Chain A
């Protein structure tokens, strides 16, 4: 299951990342394995998406969200 497959309001727990470079950036922003992610909103055309992680809101492109694998 990838983060990009979640609908608005759904939650998931980060398991791993598929892109090393992206994972370093995401982890610095507090998006770490074991953290809960909630999809807060999705733009009308499906990209970008806003998620809630570590107590704040973070916006990601769809292909960035695709690199996050959920449990």
Chain B
């Protein structure tokens, strides 16, 4: 099946990515594996309002583009490798509107790769319930990308998202979040020059991840290694500096666009239940009561 536009879904774990994927593609999906690794690859198709056919790929959930596991490493290799068969024309970043701060870290990293981005603000219903007020228009303006409030679980705002996908620009228009090159100026410059990469963040990511990336040739990878030694690049320190800079950008952004209730939030219902069920004493009492009940049900009552 041929697609007119390839779209990748990216987001933190538990932000409703798979729910959105199911809503967008319906039953029109295939599940396979990424070559070489046992990570599920979910690809589906969806027809856009303008009649074009979009291939949607559901990438594994991750908190950051720096992988901590094999499935997380898929995210960067699909986004960065232009020769990957799933290399997207457009990325839909799904943000949990009730927990924007942590979610925006991944957004800012993906945005800096300068692939066209549409933001789906999911769980708007939950955010409203928690009295979190988001100025969506200002938020979109500051990021420079379309932002669509949705609720995937309630199938709310999906048409708006499909519209945004079909009108999305072929060029990446998002604002820069942080000055990436300043983290390792000479290194970024030389990797960019020697590997012909004009995106500074992509160059920086290659410095961090070149050992595990399969789309670099061994010569390229060795060259990056040499350059790292030349400029005494410390991957973890650079990563720390980047994360701090990104959160500072995120805090500024949220300060202007989001208002939250100041008062200490009421304990959530599930926390209240947890407090009883995992209590030092009552927890065990309830646990044995449930076991007794099941034992009774199976051996006494059924007889």
Contacts and interface: CB of A to CB of B under 8 A. Distances in A.
- A, B co-complexed: yes
Interface of A: 20-21, 23-25, 27-30, 32-33, 41, 44, 54-56
Nearest to B283: A44
Contacts of B243: 24, 27-28, 32
A20 B240 contact: yes
Given A56-B99, A56-B102, A32 B247 contact: yes
Contacts of A21: 236
A24 B101 contact: no
B131 to A, nearest CB: 13
Q: Is the interface of B mostly helix, strand, loop or mixed?
A: helix
Given A20-B240, A27-B247, 13 more contacts: A20-B236, A20-B237, A23-B240, A24-B240, A28-B105, A32-B244, A32-B247, A33-B244, A41-B274, A44-B280, A54-B102, A55-B101, A56-B102
A8 to B, nearest CB: 11
Given A44-B280, A54-B101, A28 B64 contact: yes
A25 B243 CA distance: 10
Contacts of B102: 29-30, 54, 56
A27 B280 CA distance: 31
B239 interface: yes
B65 to A, nearest CB: 10
A25 B64 CA distance: 9
A15 to B, nearest CB: 14
Contacts of A55: 99, 101, 260
Interface residues on B, range: 20 to 34
Interface string B265-276: 000000000110
Nearest to A43: B278
A27 B64 CA distance: 11
Contacts of A23: 240
Nearest to B130: A55
A55 B132 CA distance: 12
Instruction: Please list the 5 inter-chain residue pairs (A to B) with the smallest Cβ-Cβ separation, ordered nearest first.
Output: A27-B243, A28-B64, A30-B102, A24-B239, A20-B236
A24 B247 contact: no
Interface string B43-76: 0000000000000000000011010100000000
Contacts of B99: 55-56
Nearest to B264: A38
B5 to A, nearest CB: 31
28 contacts: A20-B236, A20-B237, A20-B240, A23-B240, A24-B66, A24-B236, A24-B239, A24-B240, A25-B68, A27-B240, A27-B244, A28-B63, A28-B66, A28-B105, A28-B243, A30-B102, A30-B105, A32-B243, A32-B244, A32-B247, A41-B275, A41-B278, A44-B280, A54-B101, A55-B99, A55-B101, A55-B260, A56-B99
A65 B55 CA distance: 43
A30 B240 contact: no
Contacts of A54: 101-102
